[in-house]
Copies of this chain bind each other. A is one copy, B any other.
Amino acid sequence: MKLQLQIKMNEALFIRNPEQSELGKNIIQHGIQLIYKNGFEAFTFKKLAEDIGTTEAGIYRYFENKHKLLVYLTAWYWSWFEFQINYHTNNIEDPIVKLKRVIKLLATTVEDDELTGYVNESLLHQIVISEGSKAYLTKQVGEDNKLQFFKPYKDLCAVIGTIILECSPKYLYPKSLASTIIEMAHFQNFFMNNLPSLTDFGNSKEEGEIISFLNDLVFSSLKKT
């Protein structure tokens, strides 16, 4: 028997559930490939339709517009990622070891997860690095937030915040430190590869260095208290 990982998505993100049909899964699969390849700005439903071999109108039956698709993909990623964290920190007692593991997971290149058929997590991880912020850096962030579009991201942040407090119960900024770790794991990666002089890893381009930087940053803050 083949295991399958199903993620329950917010219904307001789509018009028709893409998980429940071939075309829907194709939209996700090829959508990830195209956004990865061309970037979100150059990505259109027309190109996606051509890529899949369907029509533009077909895509619109699943997603209202490309912004919703991006939000869907990032929400999916963070849900999947929280599952990864639970899975990989399952039996760890020591919150410090736990937090280090979380940082490592955040800053490490993701490999395709065989449990999720049509989603290429490796490409999706790159999309979340390069395009993820565009999901919330908009004028509609307030409405989108009311509709709970960012719940997976916020849940992850809360989980990491809790671990931080376990490490250091008197630390004053667990949630801000959590969002800082998440964002910086990705931004330092983007900078390292694209604007290297904004980092100290431009020469080596090794993600291990990002992990060291984040560990140093986080545990200096937590040790103090």
Contacts and interface: CB of A to CB of B under 8 A. Distances in A.
Given A39-B138, A130-B137, A217-B180, A175 B199 contact: yes
Interface in A170-225: 172-180, 183-184, 187-188, 190-191, 194-195, 197-201, 210, 212-213, 216-217, 220-221, 223-224
Interface in A137-195: 137-139, 141-142, 145, 150, 153-154, 157-158, 172-180, 183-184, 187-188, 190-191, 194-195
Given A179-B191, A183-B184, A213 B173 contact: yes
Given A136-B194, A137-B133, A183-B183, A217 B38 contact: no
Interface in A104-137: 130-131, 133-134, 136-137
A216 B176 CA distance: 12
Interface in A3-62: 38-39, 41-42
B197 A187 contact: no
5 contacts: A133-B133, A150-B195, A174-B200, A175-B200, A216-B224
Interface of A: 38-39, 41-42, 130-131, 133-134, 136-139, 141-142, 145, 150, 153-154, 157-158, 172-180, 183-184, 187-188, 190-191, 194-195, 197-201, 210, 212-213, 216-217, 220-221, 223-224
